[in-house]
Amino acid sequence: MKKSLLLSFMLFFCLSVLAKPTGTYSYVVEGFDWGAGVNKVIIHLADTTSKVSASEYQVFASRKSAAGPIADLQNTRDIVTAYVSDEQGNRVKTGKNITLVLAVSPTAPITSPIQYLRSKGNVWVDYAMTVMHTKSQQIWDTPERKIMPLVDQFDLTGKFTFNDKLTMSYASYAPKTTKEKSPLVIWLHGGGEGGTDPTIPLLGNKAANYASEGIQAIFDGAYVLSPQCPGAWMHNEKGVGTQGKDNDIYNEGLMALIKDYVKANPKIDANRIYVGGCSNGGYMALKLILLYPDYFAAGYISALAYRSEYIADADIQKIKQVPMWFVHSKDDMTTIPKLTVEPVFDRLRAVGAKNVHFTYYDHVNDITNFYGGKGFQYNGHWSWVYLHENLPRTDLDGSAVRVNGKPVTIMEWLAAQKKGK
């Protein structure tokens, strides 16, 4: 272990164990392209202040799962900048709080409050921080609350029970609009986001972004529904993953949940219900379209996990009128495109599907050229990175996808789809 790393561990230990708690803090969790990150810590002061210097602070973090402490190689958090704020982290000229903006990265696990466990998928961990003001030696090490700016706009209390056997959690968002009718955007999570905590599908990848100002503006306000299954959408009755060969155990209950939610929200436009998902959720989105081709106005799917060989020609004919847009990466070794999206798309086009599109990337790159560094590549399975950021614009041949002659993004295209149009 490097000497500097050992010293930081020793200092963190001393601060955590020997120092007396002298202050409270709150922390901010936001969704990034690779998942959740703790990108701000807000320290609460006894007195008001109008000045702050980031260089006078140090931040240490530790993570612990149900199995015990997580042996992260790094426990220091890099501070990007600092400012005086209110309790929510909003900048103010004078206040009793200081917000420290922290660096996050897909290559630094210590920045994430969520950990992927092979047996459970993505789960929240106990995330603890110690903040020290180096000049006064004052310490803040007592957590007060967790702030999730986009996620906190969702109703996270949804529960739906089907046939007294299956209970599913769900998160939902109601648009801030006075319109009589608004569309519904349904997002179905991947295999790692199952469970009973609907914040995981919203943050495991950047699905909470469908409630962002930018995407909401495209739809002029849209409801967002994010159901969560206890396991994985592709599980059959034996609890084994199926890519379409066997029937899964969730589609009937999921459709009942969707219809129940629509019935409970009469301002949803029944002609503008869109279903999408990634990987496992991409499988389920296509499964629902296959089963209910007259219900959905369009589908948007990344990293499709449904194998083409398990879709009958008659079913391809049945869904050719449903607008769909697929997003995939050529180097996806999990949902191999030659077995899934490529033949599905080709078969749809072959039977005359006119409003079906396919954006095909060579790799999944860090779109910012910052968080992972210039040229950084994510796992090729993660094509939803492009989808959640509303970046797909082109069809398989490289031409722009258009609506009424105007080039559009995938969300602009989705917002324009209407049943029977």
Per-residue model confidence (pLDDT) at position 10: 53
Q: Mean pLDDT over residues 194-209, rounded?
A: 94
3-state SS, residue 247: coil
Residue 2 has pLDDT above 70, yes or no: no
H/E stretch holding 256 reads: helix 251-264
The total of other beta-carbon atoms located within 10 Å of residue 51's CB is 9
As a whole number of angstroms, the distance between CA 197 and CA 9 comes to 32
Q: How confident is the model at residue 22 (pLDDT cuts 50, 70, 90)?
A: confident
Q: Tokens standing for 205? A: 């990848």
Report pLDDT for 11. Answer: 54
Q: Is the pLDDT of residue 95 over 80?
A: yes
DSSP secondary structure of 100-158 = EEE---TT-GGG-SEEEETTTEEEE-EEEEEEEETTTTEEE-EEEEEE-TTGGGSEEEE
Spatial CB neighbours of 121, under 8 Å, sequence gap ≥ 6: 191, 192, 193, 194, 195, 200, 204
Task: Locate 348 and state its tokens.
Answer: 């749809």
Whether 5 shows a pLDDT value over 80: the answer reads: no
In three-state secondary structure terms, 49 is: strand
Q: Where in the chain is the domain with CATH 2.60.40.2180?
A: 3-147
Is 170 buried (19+), middle (13-18) or exposed (0-12) by CB count in 10 A?
Answer: buried
Question: CB of 404 within 8 A of CB of 257?
Answer: no
Instruction: Dump strand ranges (E) for 279-378.
Output: 298-302, 324-329, 356-361
Does 117 score more than 90 pLDDT? no
pLDDT of residue 373: 84
- Distance from C-alpha of 394 to C-alpha of 400, rounded to nearest angstrom: 4
| Residue range 192-221: mean pLDDT, rounded | 95
Residues 282-317 pLDDT 10s = 999 999 999 999 999 999 999 999 999 999 999 999
For residue 12, name the pLDDT band (cuts at 50, 70, 90). low
Q: What is the mean pLDDT of residues 230-259?
A: 95
pLDDT at 165: 87
Average pLDDT, the chain: 93
pLDDT one-digit tens code per residue, 326-377: 999 999 999 999 999 999 999 999 999 999 999 999 999 999 988 888 889 9
Phi-psi category of residue 209: left, alpha or beta, with phi > 0 → left and psi -120 to 50 → alpha = alpha
- The secondary element (H helix, E strand) that includes residue 271 is strand 268-278
In whole angstroms, what is the distance from residue 75 CA to residue 130 CA?
10
Residue 304 in contact with residue 243, Cβ under 8 Å? no
At position 197, the amino acid (one-letter code) is: D
- Res. 1: pLDDT tops 50: no
Whether residue 8 is predicted with pLDDT greater than 80 in this model: the reply is no
Q: Tell me: pLDDT of 17 over 60.
A: no
Of 49-58, 110-119, 339-348, give the lowest mean pLDDT range: 110-119
What interhelical angle do 280-291 and 251-264 show, nearest 10?
80
Least confident of 50-54, 133-137, 301-305, 354-358: 133-137
Q: CATH 3.40.50.1820 in the chain, residues?
A: 151-415
Domain 3-147 falls in which CATH fold?
Immunoglobulin-like (2.60.40)
CATH topology assigned to domain 151-415:
Rossmann fold (3.40.50)
Amino acid at site 395: D
- The tokens describing 5, both together, are 């790393």
